[in-house]
Copies of this chain bind each other. A is one copy, B any other.
Amino acid sequence: MADKLFNDTFDLPDINHMNKIVTLKDIAKALNLSISTISKALNDSYEISEDTKKKVLSYAKYHHYSPNRMAKGLKEGKSRSIGVVVCSLENNFVAQMLDGIDSYSSNKSYQIIIMQSKESAQQEIACLDLLYAGGVDGILISPASQTVDFSYLVTLQKAGLPVVLFDRLSDHIDTHKVGADNFRGAYDATVHLIDNGYKNIAHLNTNTILSIATERLNGYKQALYDRNITYRPELLRSCDYSNPKKLHQDLEAAIHYYMSLEVRPDAIFTATDQISTRCLALLNKMGYHVPGDVALIGFTNTDLADALNPALSTVNQPAFEMGQIAASKLISLIEAKIPVTEFETIMLETKVNVRASTQK
């Protein structure tokens, strides 16, 4: 089956790791045809006779020929790969989006290269650098919470590299953006709390400048306003999202703070996956009863929501879909025949799932 016929060119010192890959040259030699004929045959060119095509195809198949991605990429100036920059792999919500990205990209025969910014703007630049140098055809990015400067991304874009933002959006770059309707999600969650009789609703958010945070804050404020509840600034706290330890500390401090207020909150609306689940764990650990002492609803996509103590009311985002759409937008940009100048921002619907944590 595996023959050694064509590997005489590989008699080099490091032959040990040389993949015995069949090349066009090998096929050409074996079939007594020229390399270009083989190439054309495999690409089903009209210039080649059916007979030859058949011969070439069958030989190629039998010998497991598959084109060298790098050679093709070098030649064509494209790599059929896209770079994906996320805050972290170890994040359920991110994983769901990546799954969506992967699903769409694989279908279109694009490879994805995932890099983690770990919420650091500097690390993010490093990722972008590597991806750019690596020759990706486009970038899909959900910026780090610490990112304030999008100029590098804009530079890459100006240099001709298509960029699409997903999940965490920003006005500092003009391109396709795919996110959730964060305002609406926050609004719905807050209204849900109010309609269930909660009046003193705290809001725990992140310290990022990304729109994701302000939109959620605004949704919360608007709901209060619409229901004639006075916004109490002291019920708004934000947590440092730059690293897990800091987040944990800030969360703990926030809860202590809330519980020391003369008018304690009777409910908390949390703005992100990490904050929501950690907050619940902390409330439990600190001995507060949810929802007895304080109700809790938060943005999170964890599929463990119903197994939590108590089952956690959540605002869900269509993460998988978000990934798919982002990938489709990027690939459409990559494959566009003419430069695209009209960009769109797509907002996907969120969904409130009511569970025990907000049922008095």
A96 to B309, CA, bound (A): 24
Residues in chain B near residue A161, CB distance under 8 A: 17, 19
Q: Is A292 an interface residue (CB 8 A)?
A: no
Q: Is A102 an interface residue (CB 8 A)?
A: yes
Q: Decide if A18 touches B160 in the complex (CB within 8 Å).
A: yes
Q: Is A354 an interface residue (CB 8 A)?
A: no
Partner of A20, one of B21, B106, B160, B308: B160
Contact residues, A336-351 vs B (CB, 8 A): 336-339
Residues in chain B near residue A2, CB distance under 8 A: 155, 158-159
Q: Decide if B309 touches A68 in the complex (CB within 8 Å).
A: no
Q: Decide if A304 touches B306 in the complex (CB within 8 Å).
A: no
Nearest chain B CB to A292 CB, angstrom units? 15
Q: Closest B residue to A356 by CB, please name it.
A: B309
Q: Decide if B89 touches A16 in the complex (CB within 8 Å).
A: no
Q: Is A112 an interface residue (CB 8 A)?
A: yes
This protein's copies in its complex: 2
Contact residues, A87-140 vs B (CB, 8 A): 88-92, 95-96, 98-99, 102, 106, 111-116, 129-130, 132-135, 137
Q: Is A261 an interface residue (CB 8 A)?
A: no
Q: Decide if A66 touches B116 in the complex (CB within 8 Å).
A: no
Enumerate 16 A-B pairs (CB-CB under 8 Å) in ascending A order. A2-B155, A15-B160, A17-B334, A19-B135, A89-B95, A89-B99, A91-B95, A102-B114, A106-B115, A111-B113, A112-B114, A114-B114, A284-B306, A304-B304, A307-B309, A309-B311
Q: Decide if B16 touches A339 in the complex (CB within 8 Å).
A: yes
Known: A74-B74, A90-B92, A160-B19. A66 touches B338 (CB 8 A): no
Q: Decide if B116 touches A113 in the complex (CB within 8 Å).
A: no
Residues in chain B near residue A159, CB distance under 8 A: 2, 19-21
Nearest chain B CB to A242 CB, angstrom units? 17
Q: Decide if A89 touches B102 in the complex (CB within 8 Å).
A: yes
Residues in chain B near residue A68, CB distance under 8 A: 74, 133, 135
Residues in chain B near residue A308, CB distance under 8 A: 304, 307-309
Q: A15-B160, A280-B307 are in contact. List 15 more A-B contacts (CB 8 A).
A: A16-B339, A17-B336, A19-B135, A66-B132, A67-B133, A70-B70, A89-B102, A90-B96, A95-B95, A111-B130, A112-B113, A277-B307, A281-B304, A304-B304, A308-B309
Residues in chain B near residue A13, CB distance under 8 A: 337
* Of A99, A158, A160, A310, most B-chain CB atoms within 10 Å: A160
Partner of A307, one of B19, B21, B66, B281: B281
A1-39: CB near B (< 8 Å → 1, else 0) gives 010000000000111111111000000000000000000
Q: Decide if B17 touches A160 in the complex (CB within 8 Å).
A: yes
Q: Decide if B284 touches A307 in the complex (CB within 8 Å).
A: yes
A7 to B160, CA, bound (A): 12
Partner of A69, one of B95, B133, B158, B309: B133
Q: Is A197 an interface residue (CB 8 A)?
A: no
